[in-house]
Structure 1
Amino acid sequence: MKTHDAELRVIKDLLRNNPKGMKITRIARDLAMNRNTAAKFLEILLMTGQVEVVEHGKSKIFIISRRTSIPTMLDRSADFILVLDQDMKISEVNDNYLKFVGRARGDLLGKRPGTTGLPVIGRQPVVEKIREAHYGADIRTELHEVLPTGEFYFDLRITPTTFNTGKRGITIIIGDITREKKSAISVRESEANFRTLFGESPVGTAVFDSAGELVNANPAFLRLAGVKTRDEIGSPNLFSLEGIPPGSRDLLNTGKKVRFESDTGFDGVKDTGAAPGIGPEGMVFDVRITPVKLTLGEQQAGYLLQIHESQAGFRRIIDHAPDLIARFSRDLKYLYANREIEVVTGITAGEVIGRTNRDLGIPPETALLWDETIQKVVTTGKPVSFEFPLPHCDELRWYRTSCAPERSGSGDVVSVITVTRDITGQKERESDAAQNRKLVEEVLSCIDDAVILVDSRTSTISFVNPAVTKMFGHSREELMGKDPVLLFGAGGSIPGYPANLTEISGNSEFCEIESRMKRKDGEKFPVSLLLRSICDDAGQTKNIVLVVRDTTGRKWAGEGNLQCTPWNPNASQYSRIFPADPFRHGQAT
Structure 2
Amino acid sequence: MQEDDEQVTTCRVNQGSGTGFSPGPEGVNDLMGNDTAADEATRIRAVLKDQPLGLSIKEISLAVGMSRNSVAKYLEVLTATGQLELRHVGNAKLYTLSQRVPVTNIINFTKELIIVIDKSLRIIEASDSLCAFAGASRIEILKTHLSSPPVSLLTPAEEGRLYALLNGGSSWKKEIRILRGSDERYLDGRFIPTRLQNGEPGITLILEDTTVQRQAERAMQERDRLLHTIFQIPTVPRFFIDKNHKVVFWDRALEILTGFKSEEMVGTRLHWKAFYDREQPCLVDLVVDDDTEQIRTVLHGKCTPAPSSDSGYECTTFFPGLGPSGTWLHVTATIIRDSTGSVTGAMETVEDVTQKKQQDFVVEE
TM-score interval, normalised by the smaller of the two chains: 0.3 to 0.5
In the superposition, the TM-score normalised over structure 1's length comes to: 0.31
**Larger % of strand: which?**
1
The structure, 1 or 2, with the larger RCO (C-alpha pairs under 8 Å, 6+ apart) is 2
In the superposition, the TM-score normalised over structure 2's length comes to: 0.47
